[in-house]
A and B are shown apart, each in its own frame.
Chain A
């Protein structure tokens, strides 16, 4: 047990894991092509991993396994650092790098959550379409508009939705970067045309890891800013010496 612990907190082991993840992902970037590349962003990751032949997905299995071990190693290192240094270091300077570690772990957990519970669905709608979301809320497409450049390139589109968050109907305009959220679900407009009649391609997304990823990102950023601040203090002290 002691040997396993020492391995987990060893810097060489941490470097080895990161290096393997990098190599696996680099290989994957060249292997990820064709229908498997299209499918990986359309279905939950666990379904992709379960259905794609190992010869096309081994790199991702390897990367995920290494990241899982890295997560344990990060936890072990965080625990060890606090145990070893809590007497000699101020609490803030001790916790700063640990906040980065915690942020990283939360973002990894967010990916895991999304890979199991995420979903994406495309629907084509026309003005007047009534759409029900999987969480039973619904909306009606009131209007669809699209603007094209002189060359015929789409430069802007939007859709007005009539939503029913409670009892009274609410008008909401969605456009690229401005989705409409109902509980866990987001409604995104992907494309719209007005000829021969107005119609739009909508996507309904569920990304259950998003909240956790945001919390992780905030904690990570706080830790990162603190680390930079303590580093600059250290440099000032060594420069004045």
Chain B
């Protein structure tokens, strides 16, 4: 390796370490904020757009930090930057909404509800990271990015499936049914089926690469609509 290449690699490693440190610091600040919100509200802070957007932001950083150690992404500073911007945007938007001081309704006061929400946001975070990797593939045409996108989507889909199962168990104890026909449940099923479709595209081999990347980006939009669009705009069992 030439001297200039070594120098460049060294600089790039330093930049990656620096952005990772910033991400970790951001995550620490957010976790402290979430913890303080929980103490002041006297409940798990997972109600309303303010709390959930903050939790979503923290989940993005947590999942991004975990993913960034994979060999493909270990030296890609743009990945840390992009996920950092996404997390910062979510945290910023959280402050547009007032922090709810509502007491935890009795019907939500169960571990099944907490597992349902937390797992859903871990999956949303992974779908966001999947979209960033998809965009990376479209711009840079590195197939290894698509391999990670697949693994991230599979893990996100698994979290989402677990969230749906815990939501079903909670619904059965709370409402007498594990399923309700409301826009939120419909869009939840759409999102789950959509990512099932995306994972099956993999069987098409390299012919499906570009399609898979674009679907990864579209998945992020469907996820955003399922989370915010349905809850804010439609009458549903999960309305804010």
CA distance A19 to B200 in the complex (A): 12
Given contacts A149-B103, A176-B107, contact A188 B176 (CB under 8 A): yes
Judge if A203 is at the interface, Cβ distance under 8 Å: yes
Interface string of B152-191 (1 = CB under 8 A from A): 0011001001100100111011111111111100110110
Minimum CB–CB distance for A8 against chain B, Å: 14
CA distance A209 to B172 in the complex (A): 11
Which residues of chain B have a CB within 8 Å of any CB of chain A? 71, 103, 105-107, 109-110, 151, 154-155, 158, 161-162, 165, 168-170, 172-183, 186-187, 189-190, 193-194, 196-197, 200-201, 203-204, 230, 234-235
Q: Which listed residue, B154, B181, B197, B230, touches A19 by the CB 8 Å rule? A: B197
Given contacts A11-B203, A11-B204, A28-B186, contact A177 B106 (CB under 8 A): yes
Chain B residues whose C-beta falls within 8 Å of the C-beta of A157 in the assembled complex: 106
Minimum CB–CB distance for A82 against chain B, Å: 16
Given contacts A19-B197, A21-B193, contact A26 B186 (CB under 8 A): yes
Q: 18 A-B pairs, CB-CB below 8 angstroms?
A: A22-B194, A22-B197, A25-B186, A25-B189, A26-B186, A29-B187, A32-B181, A37-B182, A37-B235, A111-B179, A114-B179, A118-B177, A149-B103, A176-B106, A176-B109, A177-B107, A207-B176, A210-B178
Establish whether residues A177 and B109, one from each chain, have CB atoms under 8 Å apart when the complex forms: yes
Query: Helix, strand, loop or mixed for chain A's interface?
Result: helix
Chain B residues whose C-beta falls within 8 Å of the C-beta of A93 in the assembled complex: none
Using CB atoms, name the residue of chain B closest to A209: B178
Establish whether residues A228 and B186, one from each chain, have CB atoms under 8 Å apart when the complex forms: no
Establish whether residues A22 and B190, one from each chain, have CB atoms under 8 Å apart when the complex forms: yes
Establish whether residues A155 and B105, one from each chain, have CB atoms under 8 Å apart when the complex forms: yes
Q: Which listed residue, B71, B176, B234, touches A29 by the CB 8 Å rule? A: B234
Chain B residues whose C-beta falls within 8 Å of the C-beta of A228 in the assembled complex: 154-155, 158
Minimum CB–CB distance for A27 against chain B, Å: 10
- Given contact pairs A15-B197, A32-B181, A207-B178, a sample of 12 additional A-B residue pairs in the complex whose CB atoms are under 8 Å apart: A12-B204, A25-B189, A25-B193, A37-B181, A114-B177, A176-B109, A177-B170, A177-B174, A178-B173, A209-B178, A220-B165, A224-B162
